[in-house]
Amino acid sequence: MKIGIFDSGLGGLIIAKAIRREMPKYDYAYLGDTKRVPYGNRSHDAVYEFARECVDYLFRKENCAVVIVACNTASARALRKLQKEYLAQNFPGRKILGVLIPAAEEAAKYSRIGVLATAGTVASGSFSREILKKNRKAEVFQNPAPMLVPLAEEGEKKLAEKFIGKYLKPLLAKKPEAIVLGCTHYPFFKSQIRRIAGKKVKIISQDEIVPRKLKEYLRLHSQISGKLSQKSTAKILVTDITANVKKLSAKWFLEKTRIIRIFLHHT
């Protein structure tokens, strides 16, 4: 059985590459819903339906034992329902994990925290809620950064510069000790964000946290890790092969990985 990684687009490839670097022996299936990206401005119901279709595909067609929802909007708006309803009814022996809680746990080590995320993730209040569960005295400041996902998908670092500055400005005005990059696309701009935020601000990036947390999870849950095959394979599945899919998958994952277009069964 495989480890499945799902994202609304291709930003999750940054996470997938980091996970694979940490645990190269396992077999991976990545699914990017490139036809419907971005999820950040969608309704709760739409995000849940899209996420359920993608997760279902990874379980049924790719035989995944565990699926990582490498999309913060889906982690914020759909993960709990997927775990409690969909998984319980369809695949009770398997697991769905998100990327939001590991980042929130890391952020909770600080007392003044900025969160840069999509509009959907900010509106859900999930980061604030999860950080405050771990650290009641923490102050959390959020700001949506809607343009960063499409700019990352287009590979536009230079054009993104002014937007990064604009989105960080209200967070930096609050004098944060740390800023969470609350979207899996944002590590693409990590060096720019670090430079603008300055050396005193800790940048919490999911590509650095999630692989370590997943490795620890699998170590503690042998009922999942024991099912995983170890042939070091990886495949990239997308719902639409757009002009930049091949370019970005080569850049963010691996040159030689074949890209396969899939058709989701709408249930």
The catalytic residues are: 71, 183
Contact between residue 145 and residue 167 where contact means Cβ atoms under 8 Å apart: yes
Cα(87)–Cα(251) distance, integer angstroms: 33
Give the distance from CA 92 to its chain's centroid: 23
Q: Report the candidate in 234, 252, 245 with the shortest Cα–Cα distance to residue 26.
A: 234
Environment class of 231 (CB within 10 Å of its CB; exposed 0-12, middle 13-18, buried 19+): exposed
- Residue written as tokens 């590590």? 187
Q: At what angle do helices 206-220 and 12-22 cross, to 10 degrees?
A: 50
d(CA 209, CA 103): 7
Comparing CA positions, the residue from 83, 65, 79 lying closest to residue 28 is: 65
Half-sphere exposure of 113 (CA within 13 A, CB side): 28
Q: For residues 118 and 9, give the distance between their C-alpha atoms in angstroms, rounded to a whole number.
A: 13
Strand duo 95-98 + 202-205: pairing = unpaired
